[in-house]
Amino acid sequence: VTASVSGTGLRDRLLGARILLPTSSAGVYGYGRDFVRTFDAVDRFVNQAGSVDLPELMRFPAVMSRSDLERTDYLRSFPDLLGAISAFTGDNESHAELLMNLDAAHDWSHVFGPTELVLVPAACYPIYGTIEGRLPPEGRLFEVLGTCFRHEPSADPGRMVMFHQHEFVKLSTADGALAFRDYWLERAHGLMSGLGLEVESVVANDPFFGRAGRMLAANQRDEALKFEIVAPINDREHGTAIVSCNWHRDHLTSRFGIDSADGEVANSACVGFGIERIVLALFAAHGLNLEDWPSDVRVALDL
């Protein structure tokens, strides 16, 4: 006997129980009471786990400048996932014309043009632009809870177009960054299995775009730069990533001119907890009724 509701039916069961609320867009859900309660509990749990290392706390809105985004090189690797923001460029006349011509296509592009803003695709990206001067010898450690947008509309609730990452980000020497990544890979595995999730750590790659992307993905796996902690959400055989642990080498720090205390270009690493996915994995593992969850899980989450 198991309370598991994993499998392709999870989405429908969550919608039926009003834990998720349907909207008219694929990949966009409202969160009902028990989703919010669990979301807040998981976020607090992650926050407390990381607070022992006294990170510098930062938060950023879901938008950032095109120029900073270009510096991260995201446009090279994941152009297809990015959301750019456009805004009205018209006058009274074109406004009147727009209103008269609204139709099923919802195409306003003749009176909307690009702004200088894009949606943040990874919670740690806005941090790099705020760093001034060389790092101290021990490096710097940041905590950020951020909103990420990735344009991949899907019926899978584990693939929402907008979601939250709670990240700890280390900027330091290469050795420090790698040690941080490995420290969190073990720690996050323990934290997630402590919530009753059947987790596994696997070498992973980002979904790099296009022909050139296949080589980038292969390199990333060969060098074991990215690990994911996966857990069952919609598919018992292939878990879904709920945490990722990444060593960026100097990919971001070099572009933002961030140096270690020794004057060398710094390295960075991050651990990112996908809050919505952890919530979904918990519902998949323990059922839809929070009151029926194992007592040790409820205690751990202060639910």
Residues 108-147 binding a copy of itself (CB under 8 A) are 108-109, 111-117, 119, 126-127, 129-130, 147
CA nearest 45: which of 244, 223, 267, 279? Answer: 279
Q: Which stretch binds a copy of itself (CB under 8 A): 97-105, 177-185, 248-256, 289-297?
A: 97-105
What binding mask, one character per residue, do residues 165-204 give for a copy of itself by CB under 8 A, x or -? ----------------------------------------
Interface characters, 58-87, with a copy of itself (x: CB under 8 A): xxxxxxxxxxx-x----xx--xx-xxxxxx
| Nearer residue to a copy of itself within complex by CB, 132 or 237 | 132
Q: Which amino acid is at 302?
A: D
Nearer to a copy of itself by Cβ, of 81 and 230: the residue is: 81
Helix 33-51 / helix 275-286 crossing angle, nearest 10 deg: 120
Cα–Cα distance measured from residue 228 to residue 271, given in angstroms and rounded to the nearest whole number: 10
- CA separation for the pair 63, 47 (Å, rounded): 23
3-state secondary structure of 280: helix
The minimum distance between CB 19 and a copy of itself, in angstroms, equals 11
* Cβ atoms of residues 158 and 240 within 8 Å: yes
Instruction: Give yes or no for a contact between 83 and 27, defined as CB atoms under 8 angstroms apart.
Output: no
Confirm or reject binding of residue 49 to a copy of itself (CB under 8 A). Answer: no
Cα 246 to Cα 221: distance, rounded to the nearest angstrom: 11
Residues 215 to 274: which contact a copy of itself by CB under 8 A? none
Residue count, binding to a copy of itself (CB under 8 A): 73
